[in-house]
Structure 1
Amino acid sequence: MSAYFITGTDTDAGKTLIASGLLALARRHGLTTQGLKPVASGCEVTPDGLRNRDALALQAGCHPPLGYHEVNPYAFAPAIAPHLAAQRDAVPLSLAGVAQRLAPRLAENRDLTLVEGAGGWRVPLNASEDLAGLAHLLNLPAILVVGVRLGAINHARLSLEAIRRDGVRVAGWVANLLEPRMQETSANLATLAQLLDAPCLGQVPYLAHPTPAQVADHLRLPQ
Structure 2
Amino acid sequence: MKEFFITGTDTDAGKTHVTSLLLKLLAQHKKQAIGFKPLASGCEMAFDQLVNADALILMESATVSAKYDIINPFAFAPAIAPHIAAEQAGVTITADKLSSAYKNVKQQGADYILTEGAGGWALPISNTDYLYNWVKAEQLPVILVVGMKLGCLNHALLTTAHMQSMGINCIGWIANQVDPNMDEYQANLDSLKLRLPFPILAISPYSEQTPKLQIYKTLLENFALNT
Q: Same fold (TM over 0.5)?
A: yes
Q: Provide the rounded CA distance (Å) in 2 between the counterparts of 1:172 and 1:34.
A: 20
Query: Contact conserved, 2:64 with 2:108, CA < 8 A, in 1?
Result: no
Q: What is the match of residue 71 of structure 1?
A: 71
Identity of aligned residues (%): 40
Q: Provide the rounded CA distance (Å) in 2 between the counterparts of 1:63 and 1:73.
A: 19
The change in CA–CA distance for 1:179 and 1:62 in structure 2 (over 3 A counts) is same
Query: Contact conserved, 2:203 with 2:213, CA < 8 A, in 1?
Result: no
Query: Contact conserved, 2:10 with 2:119, CA < 8 A, in 1?
Result: yes
Mapped pair 1:62 → 2:62: yes
Q: What is the match of residue 128 of structure 1?
A: 128
Query: Contact conserved, 2:55 with 2:72, CA < 8 A, in 1?
Result: yes
Query: Contact conserved, 1:8 with 1:144, CA < 8 A, in 2?
Result: yes
| 1:165 shift after superposition | 1.6
| 1:183 shift after superposition | 1.0
SS at match of 1:7: strand
Q: Provide the rounded CA distance (Å) in 2 between the counterparts of 1:84 and 1:5.
A: 22
| 1:68 shift after superposition | 0.8
Q: How many residues are aligned here?
A: 220
Q: What is the match of residue 157 of structure 1?
A: 157
- The aligned amino acid for 1:189 is L
Q: Provide the rounded CA distance (Å) in 1 between the counterparts of 2:67 and 2:195.
A: 40
TM-score, normalization by structure 2: 0.92
Mapped pair 1:173 → 2:173: yes
Query: Contact conserved, 2:64 with 2:109, CA < 8 A, in 1?
Result: no
Over the aligned positions, Cα root-mean-square deviation in angstroms equals 1.6
Q: What is the match of residue 225 of structure 2?
A: none
Query: Contact conserved, 1:123 with 1:132, CA < 8 A, in 2?
Result: yes
Alignment of 1:185-196 (within 5 A): 185-196=185-196
| 1:65 shift after superposition | 1.1
- The aligned amino acid for 2:59 is Q
Q: What is the match of residue 145 of structure 1?
A: 145
Query: Contact conserved, 2:64 with 2:110, CA < 8 A, in 1?
Result: no
- The aligned amino acid for 2:58 is L
Structure 1: gaps (5+ residues): none
Query: Contact conserved, 1:25 with 1:221, CA < 8 A, in 2?
Result: no
Q: Provide the rounded CA distance (Å) in 2 between the counterparts of 1:155 and 1:74.
A: 27
Q: Provide the rounded CA distance (Å) in 1 between the counterparts of 2:199 and 2:111.
A: 20
Q: What is the match of residue 201 of structure 2?
A: 201
SS at match of 1:143: strand
Query: Contact conserved, 1:36 with 1:114, CA < 8 A, in 2?
Result: yes
Over residues 5-56 of structure 1, what are the superposed CA-to-partner deviations in whole Å (9 max), with x where a residue is unaligned? 1100000100000000000001111111011001111001113411100000
Q: Provide the rounded CA distance (Å) in 1 between the counterparts of 2:49 and 2:220.
A: 33
Query: Contact conserved, 1:117 with 1:132, CA < 8 A, in 2?
Result: no
SS at match of 1:118: coil
Q: What is the match of residue 12 of structure 1?
A: 12
Alignment of 1:70-149 (within 5 A): 70-107=70-107, 110-149=110-149
The change in CA–CA distance for 1:94 and 1:196 in structure 2 (over 3 A counts) is same
Moved over 6 A (4+): none
